[in-house]
Amino acid sequence: MLFYWGDSVLEEKLMLYLNIQQLHQRKFKVSQIAQELKVSRPTVYKYLKMTFEETKAYMEQLQGKGKKLDPYRDWIIAWLEEYPHLSAAQIHDWLLERYPDLVVGESTVRAYVKEMREIYQIDKKVIIRQYEAIPEQPMGKQIQVDWGETKQKTTEKNEIKLYFIAFVLAHSRYKYMEWQGRPFTTNDAIRCHENAFQFYGGRTEEIVYDQDRLITVSENSGQLLLTSEFQSYVNERKFKVHLCRKADPESKGMIENVVKYIKGNFADSRVFSNIEDWNNRALQWLHRTGNQHVHQTTKKRPAEVFPVEKQHLQPVSSPLSHESVITPSITRNISKDNTIRFKSNRYSVPLGTYSAASDNEVFIEVTSSQPPTLIIRKQLDGEVIAEHSISNEKGKLIQHLHHIRDRSKGIEEFKQQLVSHFEDQKRATSYLNEICLRYPRYRRDQLIIIQNTIEKYPMWIEATLTKCIIDKLYSANDFRDIANHQNALQTECTQKVKPPFIKHSGKDNIIVTTRSLTAYTSILGGDSQ
């Protein structure tokens, strides 16, 4: 009978030792013991040569020494138990994604994952993939493109279908991809081509495709026909199109492997929250893993070869604007930080442009002026919401000062500025301090709302302050709503009281109207007594 003790690593190792000894006493061969206990044969040999005391001392030494990945042990075990097919390379990538500051080699992760599989008896489910030889292409000659789709678990425990387009430079194997939550249209494909050209910093002489419905109509007596939209795009960008024939996998095997790699490494078992986050994580994965790992065929890292191949790419003009005959416009999505991405940089839009409850798509245009200017519109022919000089650098945040909060004044100085508008400054100071205490992360935003309210309803700020303190309404939104209500009541009362008809003489008359105390107390919601 096999023993099963506690959950500690030491006890599990000792349990393994006893089990090996028992099976050996029962005349099991080393290979049979390894198969039975799901461990390697060198492990069996190691434990057979050791006494129980030696094993215990050895394990205690290891336990006292500790390993670099021990702090992340629970995560690794959880991933392996839930997704037993995960490779050590995927575990390595997931660790770097969750802990960007972690510095650990692939070999260290591989050895640790192997040990965890042995301790917890987690077999790896092998997924067999087929690969084929692909002829090498000269630098700058070819990009291969293909589409794929996956099913992903969501943070709400549901399942969603996602769609992606993948690009790979045939020589360097440098990859690019974009995802969306609906099937691709031809315009989507064109937009992604533009983004890919900006990502690469140019285009190749030719682009290889499968006979996809997005770009092809039919194969007519050996002549492949493109859709009118995509043909117009090709004419505009002036690259050669190579469409793969049926039963001709050699011509597109490279991109098929990339699609499999994206599905099997990036997308495999990854949980989806929203499409913006998913695309950001995809780009991070490309930078961290997809373009960093040594390619099995070239024996080189795509990220190291790409800078050389980039010099052989054809220059690409600015992204197509809304004046293009191909597609109404090149669009971007506004991120939560109120920026858009363009040519590996982030450009700001006014604070508050992003909305979680509405469409965050904007239209962009690049002028032909020198230097070129990036123009951002919310509507196709609408008002310009932002303009930026295009930066030639990478990874920069280009931001207008008027797109950010005014931080020229400190919070305390800002608070004192608002307090000065009140007659009872001591009471106003106490009220604003309480708001800042309740909303520490949004102090400036709260004060800005109150500032706007003071500017809009200056005659009602004292009454509003009194009402908010009495009812314990410590929020800028409450302050604004009370002031708005006071003003509405004032307007209503004024409309009900009609001034008497005055016959004008040759002299100007000054008419002073008064209201009863009851009217004021009604407005303030108080008691007349």
Decide: 167 and 177 in contact? Cβ < 8 Å: yes
User: CA geometry: angle at 305 spanning 204 and 316, to 5°?
Assistant: 30
Query: Measured between alpha carbons, how far is 88 from 96 in angstroms, rounded to an integer?
Result: 12
Exposed (0-12), middle (13-18) or buried (19+): which is 392, by Cβ within 10 Å? exposed
Per-residue pLDDT tens digits of the chain, which is 529 residues long? 344 333 456 677 788 888 999 999 999 999 999 888 888 888 888 889 888 877 777 666 556 556 788 888 888 887 887 778 888 888 888 888 888 888 888 888 888 888 888 777 787 766 554 444 456 789 999 999 999 999 999 988 899 999 999 999 999 999 999 999 888 888 888 889 999 999 999 999 999 987 666 676 554 444 445 677 788 888 888 899 887 755 454 455 677 889 999 998 999 989 999 999 999 999 999 999 999 988 888 889 999 999 999 999 999 876 664 334 344 457 788 888 889 988 778 999 887 788 776 778 888 887 766 778 888 988 776 778 889 988 888 888 888 866 766 554 578 888 888 999 999 999 999 999 999 888 887 788 888 889 889 988 899 999 999 999 998 899 998 899 899 888 888 776 666 555 544 444 444 444 444 555 555 555 555 554 4
Query: Measured between alpha carbons, how far is 285 from 157 in angstroms, rounded to an integer?
Result: 23
CATH placement of domain 142-310:
3.30.420.10
For position 523, what pLDDT does the model report?
54
Q: Where are the domains of the chain?
A: 9-120, 142-310, 330-403, 411-524
* DSSP-assigned letter for residue 423: S
For position 514, what pLDDT does the model report?
52
Which residues, 6+ apart, have CB-to-CB distance to 102 below 8 Å? 72, 95, 96
Which residues, 6+ apart, have CB-to-CB distance to 463 below 8 Å? 486, 523, 524
For position 209, what pLDDT does the model report?
87
Query: Measured between alpha carbons, how far is 377 from 384 in angstroms, rounded to an integer?
Result: 5
Query: Measured between alpha carbons, how far is 230 from 187 in angstroms, rounded to an integer?
Result: 8
| pTM greater than 0.85 (yes/no) | no
Q: What are the φ and ψ backbone dihedral angles of 425, each rounded to 5 degrees?
A: -70, -30
